[in-house]
Amino acid sequence: MKTYQTDKIRNIALIGNAGSGKTSIAEAMLFEGGIIDRKGNINSKNTVSDFNEIEHENLNSVFSTVMYTEFNNHKINIIDTPGADDFIGGVISSFSATDLAVMAINSQHGIEVGTEILNRHCEKYNMPLMLVFNKLDHENANYDKTIESVKTTFGNKAVIVQYPVASGTDFNAIIDVLLMKMYKFNEKGEREILDIPAEHADNAAELHNTLVEAAAENDEQLMELFFEKGSLDENEMRKGISVGLINRGLFPIFCASAEKSIGVKRLLEFITNVAPAPDQLPATKTIDDKEIKCDPKEDTNIFVFKTSNESHIGEINFFKVISGEVSEGMDLMNNTSETKERLSQLYVIAGKTRNKVSNLVAGDIGATVKLKNTKTNHSLTSSKDNIKFPEISFLNAKHRTAIKAVNEADDEKLGEALNRIHEIDPTISVEYSKELKQIIISGQGEYHLNNIVKWHLDNVYKIETEFYSPKIPYRETITKIASANYRHKKQSGGSGQFGEVHMVIEPYIKDMPDPVSYKVDGKDLKISVRNKEEHPLPWGGNLIYYNCIVGGSIDARFMPAILKGIMEKMEEGPLTGSYARDIRVAVYDGKMHPVDSNEISFKLAGRNAFRSAFKEAGPKIMEPIYDIEVLVPSDRMGDVMSDLQGRRAMIEGMSSNKGFEKLNAKVPLAELNKYSTALSSLSGGRATYSMNFSKYEQVPMDVQEKLIKTFEEEEEED
């Protein structure tokens, strides 16, 4: 394969709601470019993308697939992305390597919830965008309703370049208002270029003028030229549309039936003639805001945007050449892992097919194998400067579950497997929670974890595992002042153990003044603070520890031991074993023995005195509350709201958002277990949501009583 120069490279991400036909579009693009000699289809399980066994089982995309085609003396790198919201990570990672998003829209449904979500991501990443109305040949296709829904979502930025002569089973011709020609297709998908029929002349002319104006609006020189001539020629329009794409001022609309190859060749022509080359986009910025131009003459810099693992090959790293030129056998410095790597082999990828190349230039996408310390999000360079590119920012997890190996002998093997799974899908996070004493895996939904984690553990790593409900990271604190004392005394021959501690505890509020007196057992107790220690807690909140001992009743050397005992109990709260927080402790009296007192005695005395005082101080359990935003079709809003209210949600607002209802609420984490599955069921898979931690709030008293009772029963069983 020849080396393509930067101006002859185009990088596109195929995006769209599940079922919009992205994989079919990719297949048709590769067929038109001669990369494959016949098109596969999803049901036959023979497409270039969706080549993994798991994708064959699901009959949809689970991972993003890197491909390319050659057309019109250009190389077009294509990343076919998953359509299901659970696999959104594949879309986000593709944006770091591509320069244009081609959004497939199912002409049976128009704008769907998934389309709106993808549009949000395009806005967030400032991604140039074009729209393809696919499946216009389907009996339920409705062009007019689709264009109406598109205009609602995208406004006047969505500009028609093509429209069908008829949609539905009669779809076989497209009017192109950029070239002012009609394309007619036979049953083999072969096209004939014709003049626009008289009955379409007025409509085509009107849409052409709208396109001319939209193109002119994106360039001042073109706008002046437009006012001067009243029109633009084809090359001038291309320039204006290209500028409009780059600055997201224009989203051109095309028509297609990818399965029948209708419209795909024209789509490729537009991409090669009008879509931006990598060096036409703004320079890539490093983490320290240095701009790296997409120039083959600069130092070599590459960014790894995806990692996969294939049998018999091992790890494959997919990268974009940000600048310079990368050659086979080249040594680069990985500034993320701070190790040197040799790129002994270079490939261009078409699904599972790897074609060796000797070099790739700035703007191109390639892959390499057998790198020792390189993963997704790593930056490699030939420069002496410490070049690092910003890591891909994936979405927060929406679903969590606990996991364990059925056979304890597989624990170590499970840990290694989970780490490998995280490497191929960074949206899956793995954590051993010391607090909960569970391995917690998190992802975008139950479907996500079942189809990535469980499937790989069962079929690739052959580890039998169990998913079960994760514990909730509650917090414990107090609401009032309480005092307690505890004497630890033990005598069993030789030196004994003795330590007695008297303390007062109270809720801690930021900036509250130091104590001067307390009321203990109905009597005023004056406090003289000798020493104050502030301990920010790793799990949030604070512990304030006062040494108020006077008269030497407890030697200063035993005060750290008392603190250690208190801290141990705060790590395992008295109510439910959860972390305690925001407490102020004043140790004001005690006793010691000249022989039997030691650190362990005072640690145990401090621990038990704190435990007793805590239970008398109006203890309360705090639970994590999350902000959630639900995007749902209007006809399912009532069901979704009723379900949330049953989950103790506090509804904070509702609004309409481009044809969908947006609902904001605060919901306890304990009530969100398997919410992604429930929401999908309630909405027929048409709703989605996002969630972010908000704060801790006190649980209702009936919930607190249940939690305490459950914990006490578990303690008795142990």
Q: Is the dihedral of CA 255, 260, 262, 265 positive or negative?
A: positive
Instruction: Name 104's Cβ contacts closer than 8 Å, sequence gap at least 6.
Output: 14, 15, 16, 20, 21, 22, 25, 132, 134
Q: Are residues 98 and 77 in the same domain?
A: yes
- The rounded distance, in Å, linking the Cα atoms of 612 and 628 is 38
Domain range spanning residue 579? 479-618
Residue-wise pLDDT for 440-492, tens only, equals: 999 998 889 988 999 999 999 999 999 999 999 999 999 999 999 999 998 77
Task: Detail the DSSP E strand segments found in 237-328.
Answer: 251-255, 284-285, 291-292, 301-310, 314-323, 325-327
Q: Which helix (H) or strand (E) holds 304?
A: strand 301-310
In a domain, 392, yes or no: no
Beta carbons of 414 and 463 less than 8 angstroms apart: yes
pLDDT in tens, 683-716: 887 788 889 999 999 999 999 999 999 888 887 7
In a domain, 26, yes or no: yes
Q: Among the three residues 446, 471, 496, which one is the final residue of a domain in this structure?
A: 471
Q: Check whether 189 has a pLDDT greater than 90.
A: no
| Last-in-domain residue among 591, 618, 645 | 618
Segment 113-141 mean pLDDT: 93
- 485 with 570, same domain? yes
* 44 or 534: which leads in pLDDT: 534
Q: 223 in a domain, yes or no?
A: no
| Tens-digit pLDDT profile for residues 271-311 | 999 999 999 999 999 999 999 999 999 999 999 999 998 77
Quick one: 320 and 365 in the same domain?
yes
Look-up: residue for tokens 């395992």?
A: 572
68: closest CA among 110, 91, 97? 97
Reduced 3-state DSSP string for 322-366: EECEEECCEEEEECCCCEEEEECCEEEEECCEEEEECEEECCCEE
For 57-94, how does the pLDDT look when each residue is reduced to its tens digit (9 = 90+)? 888 888 999 999 999 999 999 999 999 888 999 999 99
pLDDT at 54: 86
Dihedral, CA atoms, 65, 70, 75, 79, nearest 10 degrees? -10
Do the domain assignments include residue 215? no
Any idea which residue has 């607190």 for tokens? 704
- Say if residue 16 is in the same domain as residue 108: yes
Together in a domain, 489 and 630: no
How far, in Å, are 101, 343, 479, 619, 711 from residue 569 at the CA level? 54, 53, 18, 14, 15
Which of the two residues, 580 and 311, has the higher pLDDT score?
580
Say which amino acid occupies 402.
A
Identity of the residue numbered 459: N
How many structural domains compose the chain?
5
Placement of tokens 């904070």 in the chain: 652
More confident residue, 633 or 241: 241
Residues 538 and 601 in one domain: yes
pLDDT at 547 over 80: yes
Model confidence at 634: pLDDT above 90: no
Check residue 488 and give its pLDDT: 95
114 to 20, 153, 419: CA distances (angstroms): 10, 12, 29
Q: What are phi and psi of 561, to 5 degrees?
A: -70, -40
Question: Are 24 and 157 in a shared domain?
Answer: yes
What mean pLDDT comes out for the span 402-426? 93
Give the model's pLDDT for residue 718.
61
Interatomic CA distance for residues 639 and 68, integer angstroms:
44
Whether 449 and 546 map to the same domain: the answer is: no
Residue 14 has pLDDT above 70, yes or no: yes
**Other residues' Cβ atoms within 10 Å of the Cβ of residue 536:** 8
Rounded Cα–Cα distance for residues 67 and 72 (Å): 17
pLDDT over threshold 80, residue 658: no
Amino acid 60: pLDDT: 84
pLDDT at 90: 94
Asked whether residue 709 is assigned to any structural domain, the reply reads no
What string of H, E and C letters represents the secondary structure of 139-155? CCCCHHHHHHHHHHHHH
Cα–Cα distance measured from residue 155 to residue 348, given in angstroms and rounded to the nearest whole number: 38
d(C-alpha 691, C-alpha 652), whole Å: 14
Q: What is the share, in percent, of the chain residues with pLDDT greater than 70?
A: 99
| SS3 of residue 213 by DSSP | helix
Six-digit token string for 18: 């599940």
For residue 226, pLDDT over 70 is answered with: no
Determine how β-strand 74-80 pairs with β-strand 9-16.
parallel
Query: Is residue 541 within 8 Å of 548, Cβ to Cβ?
Result: no
What confidence score (pLDDT) does residue 141 get?
95
| 3-class SS shares of the chain: helix, strand, coil, % to 5 | 30, 35, 35
User: Pick from 618, 647, 668: which residue ends a domain?
Assistant: 618
272 and 362 belong to one structural domain: no
Task: Judge whether 505 and 614 are in contact, CB under 8 Å.
Answer: yes
CATH number at residue 523: 3.30.230.10
217 part of a folded domain = no
DSSP for residue 293: -
Q: Residue 571 falls within a domain, yes or no?
A: yes
DSSP H helical segments within 61-112, as ranges? 89-95
Cα 411 to Cα 430: distance, rounded to the nearest angstrom: 14
Q: Look at residue 493 and tell me whether its pLDDT is greater than 70.
A: no
CATH for 685: 3.30.70.240
State the CB neighbour count (10 A cutoff) for residue 115: 27
Mean pLDDT calculated for residue range 351-356:
90
464 and 550: one domain?
A: no
Do 26 and 166 lie in one domain? The reply is: yes
Q: Which residues contact 44 (CB under 8 A, 6 or more apart)?
A: none
User: Smallest Cα–Cα separation from 100: which of 131, 146, 60, 63?
Assistant: 131
Structural tokens at position 255: 């028509």
Which CATH number fits the domain that encloses residue 407? 3.30.70.870
Q: pLDDT averaged over the chain?
A: 92
Domain assignment of residue 446, yes or no? yes
pLDDT at 544: 97
Return the residue matching tokens 């289809």: 41
Stretch among 36-40, 59-63, 358-362, 458-462 having the lowest mean pLDDT? 59-63
User: Dihedrals φ, ψ of 601, to 5°?
Assistant: -65, -45
pLDDT digits (tens, 9 = 90+) for 234-262: 788 888 899 999 999 999 999 999 999 99
CA dist 457 and 450 (Å) reads 10
State the CATH number of the domain containing residue 55: 3.40.50.300
351 and 491 co-located in one domain = no
Q: Which residue has the higher pLDDT, 218 or 706?
A: 706
CA geometry: angle at 144 spanning 143 and 148, to 5°?
115
